[in-house]
Amino acid sequence: NPKMLKCGHSFCKDCLVGLLVSMRRSSIDIIDIDDAPDRLKCPVCRVFTDVPETGIDGLPSNSMLEKLGDRVKELEEVGMMERMNRRPAKYFCHNCAKNCCEECHAKHNHTLEFHKTVDLSSDTATFINCSKHEDEYISFYCMDCKVPLCTLCRIHDDQCTKHCVVE
């Protein structure tokens, strides 16, 4: 559910709720939390957006981003169907961090042509699987923790929430 801030940047509703709660907590020293103004500071450009009385739901939705998300879900569903058909993987998408068969690759490249895919039989296709998530590839390294990370580790790792990550 992507919501748009005054500056034009968009974030999912849950992230904005978390950001608002965090901003309220950080201003607790200055004023009573119940009196804290409902203002969000954009994490990208630092421009403030007033939150309507109806809360985050009252912010404008980004319908274009929502449609794009729906399209990506459709592609993922197609990919899952292909996976169940057990077609051999021939390509790897660096952006999605997923393998795909010949047919899925054609659909994927048509819709997401800006994604970087590589032929798995080529010399440049050397990947290391994540030890925690077998279907994921290592694509990051945390400088603080000194550990390699896949996309899922980076998002869901409870040990280190503020990874200093290098791709």
CATH of residue 144's domain is 3.30.160.60
Residue 140 has a pLDDT of: 73
pLDDT at 107 over 60: yes
Structural contact between residues 127 and 137, judged by C-beta atoms closer than 8 angstroms: yes
The most distant pair of C-alpha atoms in the chain lies apart, rounded to whole Å, by 61
Per the prediction, the chain carries an average pLDDT of 74
Range 148-161 average pLDDT: 71
Same domain, 110 and 138: no
Residue 121 has a pLDDT of: 74
What pLDDT, in 10s, does the model give residues 53-104?
888 889 999 888 888 877 767 665 555 444 555 677 778 777 776 777 888 8
pLDDT at 138 over 70: yes
Res. 3 pLDDT band, cuts 50 70 90: very high
pTM over 0.75: no
115 compared with 40, residue with greater pLDDT: 40
Quote the CA–CA distance of 57 and 52 in Å, as a whole number.
Answer: 8
Identify the domain containing residue 31 by its residue range. 2-58
Residue 35 has a pLDDT of: 47
Instruction: Provide, for the chain, the percentages of residues in helix, strand and coil under a 3-state DSSP scheme, each rounded to the nearest 5.
Output: 35, 20, 45
pLDDT at 123 over 60: no
Q: Judge whether 155 lies within some domain.
A: yes
Same domain, 52 and 11: yes
* Residue 37 φ/ψ, nearest 5 degrees: -70, 145
Same domain, 7 and 48: yes
Res. 139 pLDDT band, cuts 50 70 90: confident
Quote the CA–CA distance of 32 and 59 in Å, as a whole number.
Answer: 24
Residue 124 has a pLDDT of: 55
Same domain, 49 and 80: no
Residue 30 has a pLDDT of: 43
Q: Judge whether 77 lies within some domain.
A: yes
pLDDT at 31 over 60: no
Q: Which of 35, 58, 81 is the last residue of a domain?
A: 58
Number of domains the chain contains: 3
Structure tokens, 33: 């939390």
